[in-house]
Amino acid sequence: MAHTRSFFADRVVLTDPATQRLQLQPGCLEVNGATISFAQAMTRDEWKSRCDEQPETQALDLGDVLVTPAFINAHTHLAMVVFRGLDAGAAMARNVVEDLYFTVESQLSNEDVRAFARLGAFENLLHGVGTVWEHYYGGTALADALVDAGLTGVVAPTLQDVAGPGVNALDSQWDATLAIHESEAYAQSGVLAAWGPHATDTVSNELWQRIGRAANEHNLPVHVHVAQSIEEYTFSMETHNLSPVARLQHLDVLEQSPHSLLVHGIYINQDDFAHLKSGRQTLGFCPYSQAQYAFPANVLRWTEADIPWLVATDCAACNDSMNVQKEMRFVHGMRVTGSTWAPEYQTFFASGKLSDATRLQEHRTRSFHATERFANPEFLLSLVWSNPGRMHPAMKVGHLQADYLANFVIWDPMHPSMWPSMDPLRLLALSDTTPAIQGMMVNGQWIGERGDFARSVRESDAYQDALQEANERLTALQKRL
For the stretch 227-268, pLDDT in tens is 999 999 999 999 999 999 999 999 999 999 999 999 999 999
Q: At what angle do helices 170-182 and 140-149 cross, to 10 degrees?
A: 40
pLDDT tens-digit series, residues 230-240: 999 999 999 99
Element housing 262 (H / E): strand 260-264
Is the confidence at residue 209, as pLDDT, over 60? yes
Question: Where residue 65 falls among pLDDT bands split at 50, 70, 90?
Answer: very high
What pLDDT, on a 0 to 100 scale, did the predictor assign at position 288? 92
**Are residues 450 and 437 in contact, defined by beta-carbon separation less than 8 angstroms?**
no
The residues, any chain, with a CB within 8 Å of residue 290's CB and separated by 6 or more, are 264, 266, 296, 297
What CATH number belongs to 71-335+375-382?
3.20.20.140
What pLDDT, on a 0 to 100 scale, did the predictor assign at position 89? 60
CA atoms of 276 and 265, how far apart (whole Å): 12
The CATH number fitting domain 4-70+398-447, selected from 1.10.800.10, 3.20.20.450, 2.30.40.10, 3.40.50.10490: 2.30.40.10
CA atoms of 253 and 243, how far apart (whole Å): 14
Which one, of 148, 151, 134, lies nearest residue 194 by Cα? 134
> 11 has which bridge partners?
66
282 burial (CB, 10 Å; 0-12 / 13-18 / 19+) is buried
pLDDT tens-digit series, residues 326-376: 999 999 999 988 899 999 999 999 999 999 999 999 999 999 999 999 999
- Mean pLDDT computed over 166-193: 97
Rounded alpha-carbon distances, angstroms, from residue 330 to 253, 281, 380, 423: 31, 23, 10, 19
Is the confidence at residue 86, as pLDDT, over 70? no
What pLDDT, on a 0 to 100 scale, did the predictor assign at position 101? 74
Q: Where are the domains of the chain?
A: 4-70+398-447, 71-335+375-382, 337-370
The residues, any chain, with a CB within 8 Å of residue 322's CB and separated by 6 or more, are 73, 76, 120, 123, 124, 127, 129, 313, 316
- Mean pLDDT computed over 150-161: 98
Rounded alpha-carbon distances, angstroms, from residue 445 to 6, 396, 408, 434: 14, 16, 10, 19
What pLDDT, on a 0 to 100 scale, did the predictor assign at position 96? 67
Q: At what angle do helices 140-149 and 461-480 cross, to 10 degrees?
A: 150
CA atoms of 346 and 199, how far apart (whole Å): 37
- Tell me the residue type at 159: L
What does pTM read for this prediction?
A: 0.96
Other Cβ atoms less than 10 A from the Cβ of 23: the count is: 12
CA atoms of 127 and 133, how far apart (whole Å): 15
DSSP 273: G
- Tell me the residue type at 203: V
The residues, any chain, with a CB within 8 Å of residue 139's CB and separated by 6 or more, are 110, 157, 169, 172, 173, 175, 176, 177, 179
DSSP 434: G
Question: Where residue 317 falls among pLDDT bands split at 50, 70, 90?
Answer: low
CA atoms of 245 and 181, how far apart (whole Å): 26
